[in-house]
Structure 1
Amino acid sequence: MPRLPHPTPEQLRRDPLPLRGRTALVTGASRRGGIGHAVARRLVAYGASVYLHHHLPHDEALPWGAERPEDVVASVRAAAPDPERAQVLHGPGDLSDPELPARLIATAADALGGRLDILVANHALSGDDGTLDAIDAGNLDRHWAVDTRSVILLVQAYARLRAEPASRTPGGRVVMMTSGQDIAGGMAWELAYALQKGALASITRSLATALAEHAVTVNTVNPGPVDTDYMSGTGYDAIAARFPAGRWGMPDDPARLIAWLATDEAEWITGNVIDSEGGFRR
């Protein structure tokens, strides 16, 4: 097999809009303090059109509360090179419903012109967890349904869409999210969550192999502790002190990695679980 030539000088010059013309679905992009919002802003800034998924009842039940989707969309659109023309759409969905993932993929693809290049499965069930003594079958099942089953069904529906001749376009990307549950110390106080996120980490390489025939890369990102407005006070300061930089990770820290994985520069990266933890000392 002939060796590939070195890139030309023109190919080495970075396109300021490396996702120009690409389309993306970002799940769990319901509030401006979250990672999903930060990822969507980066993708839009790189030229992509984006569909934002949200499930407001989930946020309404938590201390941070829900935001108006229109406000999240406006913040994402403002990051675009041309905000007036940027395509940023949104829609709701309860991903604990096993029928929803396929509908969401179809809805996003239709809204974005009939194709979907990038899937970022960022959503997760917050709360409703505990230690080994506290967990029960109910919260194990709830975390399974939202954190794992829905992600696999989203990837399945995405793969079926990419298998259609009209969808065989360059730049197929899947990015899933995990939480460092396999790193020293684990997450003994969030066993249901850690279990389901660990399943995504374990299935990453198998999914990458399954989607390779569709020219799709699959990677999973562990963002480490990220300041998404869920902690304050002395606990917040104690976590910050465990980073060499003396600060928490911010939503844009993993967003930069995820956006890069979506570009053509990352086409040779697949089947990996990638830590983006800023040197966090566990």
Structure 2
Amino acid sequence: MFDNALAGRTAVVTGVSRQAGIGVAIARRLAAQGADLLLQGWERHDAERHNEMGTGAPASIVDELREAGRRVEYVSADFSDPLAPAEVVQAGIDAFGHLDILVANHARTTPRSSLAEITAAEIDASYAINSRSTFLLVKEFAGHFKGSDGRIVLFTSGQHNGPMADEIPYAASKAALAGMTPSLAAAVISQRIMVNCVNPGPTDTGWATPDITAAALTRLRLGRWGTPDDAAALVSFLVGPDGGWVTGQVISSEGGFNLG
């Protein structure tokens, strides 16, 4: 049932191509608040990294939200292409006429590897997709923004709470997003766009092995992993009416994981 807190507002949500992912949970939350949505995904990455070829997640979430009464469009875009961020934002403008919210949830994840196994190609790909594309999405969103109450939410990881020695390209490229948040917030505040960054902590989207799951549980004081909806709840606050006084912040939603 819609509460209409976001009625009349349009959101771009990236990284929406896995049913188990945070992006789908965010899309459902924002739709439930009345927002119309442009969703982005890149199915090839999920097929390669998560073995989800043929699940039909993008089509099913679009159909689900349309049946609930929302206006929803989907675009497949590869953010390793430097032109893709502009194309995604333009697709939103073409479909809805205006954009009010950007949630940059997408991420390139890589197989775990040692420092000795890291290649220049993997470093470049991680920065291109996780960092550069997000930077360019913010630039394009701000360049097209015509409203007076914009919202941008980025996604980092938990690299500031402890080392991620077998995921260095991923951790470094996600750390860049946390690091750029205050500067981006300052760059667009005159447009009345609020920019924040979410660290969702260990989230059960089907990627973790039993050993990783058990290890994380030793630091999760509430006795469970996070769910995609835990992260989506924080995003819905930040992009909603009550988030209008929060900007330039990196906020963790991780069930006490950072308490050690």
- Structure 1 residues 124-158: Cα deviation after superposition (integer angstroms, max 9, x where no partner): 11115533222121100000110000000111111
Which one has the largest radius of gyration? 1
Matches within 5 A, 1:44-83: 44-66=31-53, 67-68=55-56, 69-77=58-66, 83=68
Aligned equivalent of 1:175, options 149, 153, 156? 153
Alignment match, 1:236? 213
Measured after TM superposition, the shift of residue 234 of structure 1 is 4.4
CA distance in 2, matches of 1:50, 1:221: 20
Instruction: Label 1:214 to 1:116 Cα distance change in 2 as closer, same or farther (>3 A).
Output: same
Structure 1 residues 129-138 or 251-260, which shifts more? 129-138
SS of the counterpart of 1:204?
helix
- Structure 1 residues 167-200: Cα deviation after superposition (integer angstroms, max 9, x where no partner): 2x233011000001111x2211111011111111
Aligned equivalent of 2:85, options 78, 98, 101? 101
CA distance in 1, matches of 2:83, 2:97: 20
The answer on whether the counterparts of 2:3 and 2:32 sit within 8 Å (CA) in structure 1 is no
Matches within 5 A, 1:127-146: 127-128=110-111, 130-146=113-129
CA distance in 1, matches of 2:229, 2:156: 16
CA distance in 1, matches of 2:227, 2:101: 22
The answer on whether the counterparts of 1:32 and 1:75 sit within 8 Å (CA) in structure 2 is no
The answer on whether the counterparts of 1:64 and 1:229 sit within 8 Å (CA) in structure 2 is no
CA distance in 2, matches of 1:71, 1:234: 32
Measured after TM superposition, the shift of residue 218 of structure 1 is 0.3
Q: Does 1:29 align with 2:16?
A: yes
SS of the counterpart of 1:203?
helix
Structure 1 residue runs of 5 or longer lacking an equivalent are 1-14
Instruction: Label 1:77 to 1:226 Cα distance change in 2 as closer, same or farther (>3 A).
Output: farther
- Structure 1 residues 87-141: Cα deviation after superposition (integer angstroms, max 9, x where no partner): 1211100010001111110101211x21000000010111155332221211000
SS of the counterpart of 1:150?
helix
- The letter of the residue matching 1:138 is A
CA distance in 1, matches of 2:211, 2:108: 25
Structure 1 residues 86-95 or 219-228, which shifts more? 86-95
The answer on whether the counterparts of 1:29 and 1:37 sit within 8 Å (CA) in structure 2 is yes
CA distance in 1, matches of 2:221, 2:234: 19
SS of the counterpart of 1:29?
coil
- The letter of the residue matching 1:118 is I
- The letter of the residue matching 2:15 is G
Alignment match, 1:10? none
The answer on whether the counterparts of 2:18 and 2:52 sit within 8 Å (CA) in structure 1 is no
CA distance in 2, matches of 1:234, 1:208: 38
Alignment match, 1:42? 29
- The letter of the residue matching 2:154 is M
Aligned equivalent of 1:191, options 168, 172, 190? 168
- The letter of the residue matching 1:171 is D
Name the TM-score, length of structure 2 as normaliser. 0.93
- The letter of the residue matching 1:86 is R
Alignment match, 2:138? 155
Aligned equivalent of 2:73, options 74, 81, 89? 89
Measured after TM superposition, the shift of residue 230 of structure 1 is 0.9
CA distance in 2, matches of 1:75, 1:155: 28
- Structure 1 residues 251-273: Cα deviation after superposition (integer angstroms, max 9, x where no partner): 00010000110012111100000
SS of the counterpart of 1:133?
helix
The answer on whether the counterparts of 1:30 and 1:53 sit within 8 Å (CA) in structure 2 is yes
Measured after TM superposition, the shift of residue 237 of structure 1 is 3.4
Measured after TM superposition, the shift of residue 76 of structure 1 is 4.1
Alignment match, 2:252? 275
Name the TM-score, length of structure 1 as normaliser. 0.86
CA distance in 1, matches of 2:179, 2:85: 21
Structure 1 residues 254-263 or 238-247, which shifts more? 238-247
- The letter of the residue matching 1:176 is L
RMSD: 1.6
Measured after TM superposition, the shift of residue 236 of structure 1 is 2.1
Structure 2 residue runs of 5 or longer lacking an equivalent are none
